[in-house]
Every structure is written in C-alpha cells, then in structure tokens.
Structure 1
Amino acid sequence: MKKTLSDKNILLAVTGGIAAYKAAELVRAFKKRGANVKVVMTAAAEGFIPAKTLAILSKEDVLTDESQAATAEVAHVQLARWADALVVAPATANTLAKMANGIADNVLLETILASAAPVKVMAPAMNDQMWANPATARNVNTLISDGFSLVEPDTGFLAEGYEAKGRLAELNTIVSQVEEELNERSAEDEILSHLKGQKVVITAGGTREPIDPVRFLTNRSSGKMGYALAEAARLAGADVTLVASVKRDCNAGIKVRIAESAEAMLSAVQEAMVDADVFISAAAVSDYRLKEPFTDKVKKQGDDDGLTLDLVQNPDILKTVGMAKKPGQIVVGFAAETKDLLENATAKLQKKNADMIVGNDVTKAGAGFDKDTNVVTMVRDGLAPIEAGPASKLAIAKEILKQVADIQEQR
C-alpha cells in the first residue's frame, strides 16, 4: 500500500504549551504516512518535551535556540527551504501573535519567517478565554491572509480542569489536513505548469489622471490583486511583465513598468503584448481624464465659487487589447461591481472580446479595495460562473491562473 505522504518534507514547529507533549505522536503519525520529518522547537517547548525525544522519533537533529547558537550554519534558513509543509503544532497565543507581526526573537520564529513552504498549517492550542480574545482572532486572520491554513482547536478537557474550546485538534485531523493540502498543491502545480515559459502581461493599481501639478483623479485600488497575480504567474514559471500605477514590493523576477495614467498604461501594455501569450487587466483604469490639465496649482477663487472640470473619456485598455488580440492570446479582465455582478460581468465579457471576466462585488465581506483577501466570480462564455474566496489574494490569483490554463487547454 502506498504511503500517502511518501517523501514529503514536513517541518514541525513545536511551541511551549502543555500540548507540546503530543508532538511525539504527531511526528510518529507523519512518519507512518511516509513523510520525512524535521523539528524546530522553542525553549519553552523543551520544558514540556525533550528535544532528544523528538530527534529519536524523527531520526533527525532537532533545531533549538541552543543548537543554532552552537553551529556556524544558518540552520533555520536551510530548514525553511527544505520543507514542503510547515506545521505549527501546538501554536500558542504568544507565538501566533509574533508570527502575525513578523517578530523573530527565537529560532522557531526565525525559521517560520524564512519559510516559503507551499503549505503552511497552524494548529492552535490554548486556554478558551485566550482563544476567544479578539487579539487572537485578529492574529489568526492575519496569518490566514498571509497564506496559513487553520486547524481549529477542539472542545475538550483543558489543563485548567474544565471542558471548553482550546484543546489541540486530534492528531489525525492535523495530519489529514496537511496531506490534503499537499495533494491539492501537487494538482495545482500540474495545472499551472502549462504557464511555464509563457509571457504574461498584467496591469495593477488605480490610474492617476492629473488635474494640476498637485492633484489627480483616481480610485481606491491599491494594486494588491495585480501584484498577487504577478507573483502567482512568476511562481508558475511564466515570464511576467507588470504594468502598474503604483510601486509595491515584489519579487525581482517580475519586470515592473510604472505607468500612472491610462494613456501611459495602454502604451506600455501594447508594447508588451507584441509577443505575449496572456493579458490580465487587473488595474482599475480611470474612465475619464481632464481634457487639458492645469499647468499651475488651481487656487480657490472665492468662498462660494465652484470649479468645473472638462473631462474626456480615457482609452479602454481591456477592449483595445481584446479587439486586437492575436490567435492564441488569452485576455482576462476584471469587473469591480456594487450590484448586478453576474449581469455586468457577462455583458463585459462580450463587449470587451475577453476570454474571461473576474467579477468582484466590492461591498462583500473579505472583498474590496486595499484588502489582503478577495472574493471573486469568474465568468467564461458557455460555462457556469466559478466562485472563489474569501481567500488571500495570492490564492485567488492562483485560481484565476488555473482558469487561464484551462482556456488554453480547451483550444
């Protein structure tokens, strides 16, 4: 019988709660399913279970603050790179708070901060009142937005001597979730591998149309969704050009071109699309610009005087690219709506000659501008709408790219 986690690298991060003693059985459970297991633990966790016990069970050295200090190797970075899945179990309230805020004051937190493991799972265990505290809820939600998944604590007998929610989840539940997520990731990698080597052009952010040298017309778009799409495409092996109105931190492998206005963005997109395979218009392009921006800062004329701006329509970037697309090119647009999402997205699909429209109702919880999460409905011709989220924008970006790969497969 094939072991379900054969040759997967599991990094178990053990923090200092009473449930730390269960780490021994958790290591055994992962090993029984065929996984390679390494452990990093805090000094507080060593107060509940010796590092030597976990070393014997995992057949690997355990990384601790003391062992890190005794070697010249940057062991926490090597361990972070090794892992296919990072599992923080048990995760105390203190460690969750530090993880959510990027604090790295021990070797376990340093390892977590350095980890780019495709699967990251947290299994909290703590007193019920600590679990119910709004600060803990904020920290957990921040970590979910950062790409962690949650195995919620169970209701059971706590160390304090009563039954309540806060007990570490059943070990089989934790192992099964890690297994499921790794399998999903493998399937996702296979789908997204179709994008390897392709040239993908993406737009991001709200364009800025000058009124005068000081002011401009714009909208609430932060560019986070476009940057997430660029990162997801890069991870899939694509050659990514991001045309953005705003500069955000991103991987050096993404070619970023800053274009603040709609006209500048269109010019940059048309240049990049000459030999591109995919265009994703995630930018919120201003519909109008001033016919003639003022050369000097506009001053008040009087207490009651108004100001009339002479506006003209901006070029429609999505429609321009959609109508000019070459055979084989994929064009995807976004539709930020406040009502009639499906109707508006479907109409836009036809009007812009796009292959897919990603609609999002910006009034929904977990969606909207300048958030780290999103909720979308993907509309393709002849297919039922496909919903995704609420989830991190990177996770949503991967779902969008899966549909792009499917469109290419269907051709």
Structure 2
Amino acid sequence: MASFTAEQHRNDGKHHILLAASGSVATIKLPNIAAALGRHHPKVSIRIILTESAAQFLRGQSAEQPAVETLTDIPGVDAVYRDRDEWAEPGWTRGAPILHIELRKWAHVLAVVPCSADTLAKWANGFADNLLLSVLRAWDTTGLVDAGIKERRPMVFAAPAMNTAMWRHPVTALHLQTLRDEWGRSAPGKKNPWITILDPISKELACGDVGDGAMMDWRDIVKAIESYLGLYVQEG
C-alpha cells in the first residue's frame, strides 16, 4: 500500500469518514454502513480499519460477509487498513509518515462500528496495541492539536456490540462512564463532547441469547454520522 498522508487530501472538498470494526459478529454490518454513506454522498471519502479479529468475519463466507479485499469496490471507500499496514516493510525511517497519526489528522469523524468488549476495555484503559487503538489513543481530544487543519473537533462514535452478559457486566459500565462522562466531556472553551456512545439494542443475538448488547441498527448509525456531518439524502 502506498504511503498515505493527511496533507495529500487536506483540500479535497470531501467529508473524511474513518470506519473501524473490532472483533464482533456485528462487523458483518460494516459493509452496509460504508455502502449507504458512499452511494448516497458523492462528497464522502471513507477509509476502513479492521482489527485482526474483525477481519475474520469478512472472508467471503456469504453475500453479507464479503472478503476484505472487495471492500474497496464499495463507492466512496478509498482504502482498508490492517495492523500490518502500520509498520510496512522495509520499516519506518525518520521523516516517514506514521499511519495512525495520519489517519487521526485526516478524519473528520471516526466510527467504531462495532466496538467489542475487548476494544472498549482497552480504549478506556489507554491501551494502544493495534492500529485502531493507536488512532484512538492519538485522538486530538482537546481540538487544539489539529486546530490549524480542521474547522471543528472531530467526533468519535462508538457502537458497542457484545453478548448480553458482557454488556451487563459491571466493568462495562465503568468503561462507558470513563469514555462518556470523564473523557467525553467538553474541553475548556468547547461546546460539544468528542465521544458519542451509540447504545446497543435488545434482540436475539448471534450466539442465541436474547437481550441487550446487540449493535445499534446500522441504519441508525448511518443517520448519526450523516447528522453530525450535515449530510442529507436527496429525495426523488
């Protein structure tokens, strides 16, 4: 994959949407989200991050589980990244771009859809042991670092998805409190938070259990992203 820098796309006139998926069966809805955004909005540029666990759900198993390699066939999707893309051979040299920083600078919005229990826990505790977590850890939470290249502080949407027992586990509430109530508060002088949690819904889960913990309906996730960016589907 060719070297990527945010500066190359700074004035392209597009809305930059970074979609990410972590290890949950709800990853199979990621292509739907990307397709809805890309097909309805020509001024959208989408880049996708897949954790290694998430990629296991997109190996061409069925029509709703296309192979990772085909995701760039979706209109608007410009690139797909895996952990191995962070430190591509022959290795980093001084002055070369660092992918997780460039993606941070590029994105106007990051949507972690789905956000697994493991990724939620690691994010809330500051871990950065894969590409997605490195982007989250490097996020400009104050809006001051990237103030010169962005008009407003970018938003992180997170759509948790996990088994009902995992969702109701007391540690999950602590992680959500950290993200939503502590980290997500507006920085001094800022009116809006930088984290939005898209709460899961109740349904029959892929494992057979019935209860809450299922990822928010993908259509509602699309609407949340569209609303934040001011994107509207033309009728007729």
TM-score, normalised to structure 2, is 0.71
Equivalences, count = 179
Q: Describe the SS at the equivalent of 1:121.
A: strand
Residue 26 of structure 2 is matched in structure 1 by: 19
1:140 aligned residue (176, 186, 190): 176
Distance 1:166 1:59 in 2: 28
Distance 2:70 2:177 in 1: 33
Distance 2:79 2:217 in 1: 26
Considering fraction of residues, name the structure with more strand.
1
Matches within 5 A, 1:320-331: none
Residue 37 of structure 1 is matched in structure 2 by: 46
TM-score, normalised to structure 1, is 0.41
Distance 1:180 1:33 in 2: 14
Q: Describe the SS at the equivalent of 1:87.
A: strand
Alpha carbons 1:154, 1:167 under 8 Å: kept: yes
Distance 1:176 1:138 in 2: 27
Max Rg structure: 1
Distance 1:137 1:164 in 2: 16
Say if 2:59 is the partner of 1:52.
no
Matches within 5 A, 1:226-375: none
Residue 121 of structure 1 is matched in structure 2 by: 157
Residue 225 of structure 1 is matched in structure 2 by: none
Distance 2:70 2:34 in 1: 10
Distance 2:136 2:73 in 1: 23
Say if 2:120 is the partner of 1:96.
yes
Distance 1:65 1:25 in 2: 23
Output the aligned Cα RMSD: 1.9
Q: Tell me the CA shift for residue 182 of structure 1.
A: 3.2
Residue 394 of structure 1 is matched in structure 2 by: none
Residue 151 of structure 1 is matched in structure 2 by: 198
Distance 1:118 1:29 in 2: 21
Alpha carbons 1:24, 1:53 under 8 Å: kept: no
Say if 2:130 is the partner of 1:106.
yes
Task: Give the letter for the 1:77 counterpart.
Answer: I
Distance 2:179 2:40 in 1: 27
List structure 1 runs of 4+ shifted beyond 4 angstroms.
none
Distance 1:103 1:115, change over 3 A: same
Q: Tell me the CA shift for residue 59 of structure 1.
A: 3.5
Which structure 1 residue ranges, 5 or more long, are not aligned? 1-5, 184-411
Distance 1:176 1:7 in 2: 18
Which structure 2 residue ranges, 5 or more long, are not aligned? 1-12, 59-66, 141-152, 185-194, 231-236
